[in-house]
């Protein structure tokens, strides 16, 4: 493995690790706050118990996200110093704003975790809102910086035409920023919702006795969030694809497997069926429209077409399957209401759907990053020109892989321990483990499985 490959693989590993847990760190606070709000509004202790359980997972995910995000920031300067020297201004403002969001999230997460049974219920709920908002803001700012790399604007050039810098607000004016930002935030909610639903679906499948109010609430909260977002994500994905076709024609050609420029491009369905002229119709609303293929791009500037096309097909295929699951869920709920949870095939489908959006998420980032190759800043700077002159980068890669292996193993063990803890359903009172409401610190009862008074 040469140094360039090692540096690219290290960034891919770091980004892949970070993004999986980062999306949970974005989506879980929203779900947590919503559950506590519902518990207060309905005077329902089971929703409050869910929020309390989920707050522990949020704390763990926040810590891991902070560590892996810091590693990514260091790698930019360590592996790609030429890029940072010339275009650091493009990242400085989004990353600075992300830092403010990070500290806001950290401060209020501390208040939220410490405030259980110490703050009045409504005040405690209010401390959770900045955690959810700041989590979304952090993802938005980082995604904006990445979107600028796909569609750079605000470039500052020398008289010779050589680009030397970028305006600080350039990333916020990029045509790629809005669709990529919305796509990323919806992906966070989609992954979070279906992951949570899958946890409770698997629990009920393994032990039918857990088909109780507590687990059904957890399953319903996750399923509603994920399956409502799924159709929206498909629409936003269509928007993002159209922007890619306009701003990065080479990436679009690789995504769709267009080797040659053609009038009336066909639509390829997973390499099995080819529908004549449909791609041109979908993209340009004209069945005879010309679409640019990879043959219009110099060979040295073409992205790796095979992996980009495969990743795009995987992402689209999973997105379509999740929309079909959403439609089936709506039909099942309209027919059977809450009894839909008794359908074991439905529970199995949710269990499978849990990891599916994470696969689509990683496939989408492969499309975004690999499809931009060989550029680190599209059509401005090549990846090889941004690489550090330092040698021996393979060692960094192997060490990083070992650290992430240990970290992921520990994280999974901790989350499993949190999930396996006693629940309100394990108490003699079943669905009513404590008196309704939390009137004050002095009167607040202990929630079984939540650690009690701290």
CA 191 to chain CA centroid, nearest Å: 6
CA end-to-end span of the chain: 51
Average pLDDT over residues 114-131: 91
pLDDT at 160 over 80: no
Using DSSP's 3-state secondary structure scheme, residue 156 falls into strand
Q: Counting beta carbons within 10 angstroms of the beta carbon of residue 414, is it exposed (0 to 12), middle (13 to 18) or buried (19 or more)?
A: middle
Sequence ranges of the domains in the chain? 3-220+381-426
Per-residue confidence (pLDDT) for residue 344, from 0 to 100: 87
Q: What is the pLDDT of residues 422-454, one digit of tens each?
A: 666 554 444 444 433 443 333 333 333 333 333
Q: What is the pLDDT of residues 54-74, one digit of tens each?
A: 998 888 888 888 888 888 888
Q: pLDDT grade, residue 191 (50/70/90)?
A: very high
pLDDT at 183 over 80: yes
Residue with more model confidence, 25 or 270? 25
| CB distance 101 to 134 below 8 Å | yes
Per-residue confidence (pLDDT) for residue 83, from 0 to 100: 87
Cα gap 38→41, rounded to integer Å = 5
Q: pLDDT grade, residue 419 (50/70/90)?
A: low
Per-residue confidence (pLDDT) for residue 158, from 0 to 100: 67
Q: What is the pLDDT of residues 139-153, one digit of tens each?
A: 888 888 889 889 888
Q: What is the CA radius of gyration of the chain?
A: 24
In 3D space, the residue among 36, 10, 12, 27 whose CA is nearest the CA of residue 368 turns out to be 12
Per-residue confidence (pLDDT) for residue 194, from 0 to 100: 94
Cα gap 114→132, rounded to integer Å = 17
Per-residue confidence (pLDDT) for residue 14, from 0 to 100: 87
CA angle 247, 250, 255 (to 5 degrees): 100
**Axis-axis angle for helices 81-115, 121-150 (nearest 10):** 170
Cα gap 318→324, rounded to integer Å = 10
Q: What is the pLDDT of residues 364-412, one digit of tens each?
A: 999 999 999 999 999 888 999 999 888 888 888 888 888 888 888 887 8
Cα gap 271→274, rounded to integer Å = 7
User: Tokens 């990445």 sit at which residue?
Assistant: 146
């Amino acid at each position: 493995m040469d140094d360039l490959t090692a540096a690219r693989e290290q960034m891919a590993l770091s980004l892949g690790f970070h993004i999986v847990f980062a999306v949970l760190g974005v989506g879980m606070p929203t779900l947590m706050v919503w559950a506590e709000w519902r518990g207060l509004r309905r005077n329902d202790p089971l929703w409050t118990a869910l929020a309390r359980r989920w707050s522990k997972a949020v704390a763990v995910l926040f810590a891991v996200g902070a560590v892996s995000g810091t590693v990514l920031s260091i790698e930019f300067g360590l592996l790609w110093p030429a890029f940072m020297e010339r275009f650091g201004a493009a990242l400085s403002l989004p990353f600075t704003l992300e830092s403010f969001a990070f500290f806001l999230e950290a401060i209020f997460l501390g208040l939220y975790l410490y405030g259980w049974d110490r703050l009045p219920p409504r005040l405690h709920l209010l401390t959770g809102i900045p955690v959810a908002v700041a989590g979304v803001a952090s993802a938005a700012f980082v995604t904006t910086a990445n979107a600028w790399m796909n569609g750079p604007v605000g470039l500052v050039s020398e008289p010779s035409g050589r680009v030397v810098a970028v305006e600080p607000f350039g990333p916020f004016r990029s045509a790629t920023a809005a669709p990529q930002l919305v796509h990323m935030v919806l992906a966070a909610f989609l992954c979070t919702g279906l992951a949570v639903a899958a946890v409770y679906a698997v629990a009920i499948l393994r032990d039918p006795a857990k088909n109780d109010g507590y687990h059904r609430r957890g399953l319903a909260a996750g399923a509603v969030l994920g399956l409502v977002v799924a159709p929206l994500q498909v629409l936003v994905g269509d928007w993002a694809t159209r922007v890619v076709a306009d701003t990065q024609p080479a990436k679009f050609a690789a995504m769709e497997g267009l080797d040659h420029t053609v009038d009336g491009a066909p639509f390829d369905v997973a390499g099995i069926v080819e529908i004549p002229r449909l791609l041109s119709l979908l993209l340009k609303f004209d069945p005879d429209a010309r679409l640019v293929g990879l043959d219009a791009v110099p060979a040295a500037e073409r992205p790796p077409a095979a992996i980009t096309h495969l990743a795009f097909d995987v992402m689209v295929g999973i997105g379509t399957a999740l929309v079909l699951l959403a439609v089936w869920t709506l039909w099942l709920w309209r027919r059977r209401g809450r009894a839909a949870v008794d359908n074991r095939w439905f529970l199995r489908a949710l269990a499978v759907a849990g990891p599916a959006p994470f696969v689509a998420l990683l496939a989408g980032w492969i499309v975004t990053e690999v499809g931009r190759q060989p550029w680190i800043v599209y059509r401005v700077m090549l990846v090889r020109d941004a690489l550090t002159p330092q040698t021996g980068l393979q060692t960094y890669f192997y060490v990083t892989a070992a650290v992430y292996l240990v970290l992921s193993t520990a994280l999974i063990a901790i989350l499993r321990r949190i999930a396996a803890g006693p629940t309100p359903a394990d108490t003699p009172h079943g669905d009513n483990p404590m008196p309704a409401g939390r009137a004050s610190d002095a009167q607040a009862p202990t929630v079984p499985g939540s650690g009690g008074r701290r």
